[in-house]
Structure 1
Amino acid sequence: MSLEIAVAAPFKHMRKERLQKSEFIFYVAIDRKWMNKEQANLLLERAMEEGLVEMEGGTIRPLFDLAAVEIPLGFKPTSDLLTGAATPCDELIARIASATGKPVREIAAEINQVIDSGFDGNLRLEAAVVIVAKRYRVRFEDKLPALEKSVAKKR
């Protein structure tokens, strides 16, 4: 999910449906200073592997609904996006999607709705994922230590 947010951010900020590769790299590496140029290229490669974007002649186009992605205030992607290691939130979202038979994007949209409408944006992603897991009676207790560690890292 945070990969989707990191990919959506340049498109939403620049209000464009397509970006040149150089614009994407500039936004991630220089404008936001989230990572260096090599890491920004890795982020783009990972997004293509995950089927989030496609590239045609140097132009990047998202393959998901940008409007459905909410960029949290102060969002900064972590380095685990580059390695492909799933975060505890991503793992729990996948578990919810599997248990409900809903697509991951739909579960992610529901989590964003919990954050925005239920808590006016004042709820951490980790807590919202647990709320949605409880809503569908999906077990999450085994992920609590990792979720707590994730929250502690962000402080």
Structure 2
Amino acid sequence: MSLRRTVAAPFRTEGSDRMSESEFVVALSLDRDWFSPDQAKRLVDVAVSEGLLERDGDAVVAGFDHADVTVPEEFAPDESVLQERSTFERVLDAVVETGVEKQDAVAAVNRLQDDLGVTLEAAAVVYARRQGVDVTDLAERARGEL
């Protein structure tokens, strides 16, 4: 996922899983020239909401093992990484990562929503769990949105 790669890049360059938020913003905006400083700050907010970053005072800490993420030399993120994904999109992505075709998953979730009479997010969580995908954190988020 390009958001994960985008967030991992500054940490991989630094060789650390912690850096000041301002260093992170500079790494994305000035060092790599991927975003404006304002866009890089927005990316921090999105990454925090996705659980990829945690704020600790003035620092940001990687919420995943950045060393496990490959960032190809030619990689450049597009602006779509600056948009927060809905709970449904996040659950759907988790299911698709297990090998389920996206169209099949969406169709199954829509049928489940109709059958159960629940929100799209709740149906997606039920579908993911039936597929054996752990979406516990997203289930809590979907529950909070009810």
Question: Please, what TM-score do these two structures have when normalized by structure 1?
Answer: 0.58
Identity of aligned residues (%): 37
Secondary structure of the corresponding residue to residue 16 of structure 1: coil
- Rg bigger for which structure? 2
For residue 139 of structure 1, what is the aligned residue in structure 2?
101
CA RMSD of aligned residues (A): 2.3
Residue deviations 1:72-107 (CA, integer Å, cap 9, x gap): 221111001112359xxx89753334xx5xxxxxxx
Q: Tell me how far apart the structure 2 counterparts of residues 52 and 140 of structure 1 sit (CA, whole Å).
A: 23
Q: Which runs of 4+ in 1 moved over 6 A?
A: none
Structure 1, gaps ≥5 residues long: 101-132, 143-155
Residue 55, structure 1, aligned to residue 55, structure 2: yes
Aligned length: 101
For residue 42 of structure 1, what is the aligned residue in structure 2?
42
For residue 7 of structure 1, what is the aligned residue in structure 2?
7
How much has 1:31 moved relative to structure 2? 0.6
Q: Tell me how far apart the structure 2 counterparts of residues 139 and 41 of structure 1 sit (CA, whole Å).
A: 33
Residue deviations 1:2-52 (CA, integer Å, cap 9, x gap): 111100100001112210011101100001110100000000000000011
Structure 2, gaps ≥5 residues long: 105-146
Secondary structure of the corresponding residue to residue 94 of structure 1: helix
For residue 114 of structure 1, what is the aligned residue in structure 2?
none
Q: Which moved more, 1:14-23 or 1:37-46?
A: 14-23
Secondary structure of the corresponding residue to residue 61 of structure 2: strand
CA contact (8 A) 2:96 2:102 kept: no
For residue 119 of structure 1, what is the aligned residue in structure 2?
none
Amino acid at match of 2:81: L
Question: Please, what TM-score do these two structures have when normalized by structure 2?
Answer: 0.61
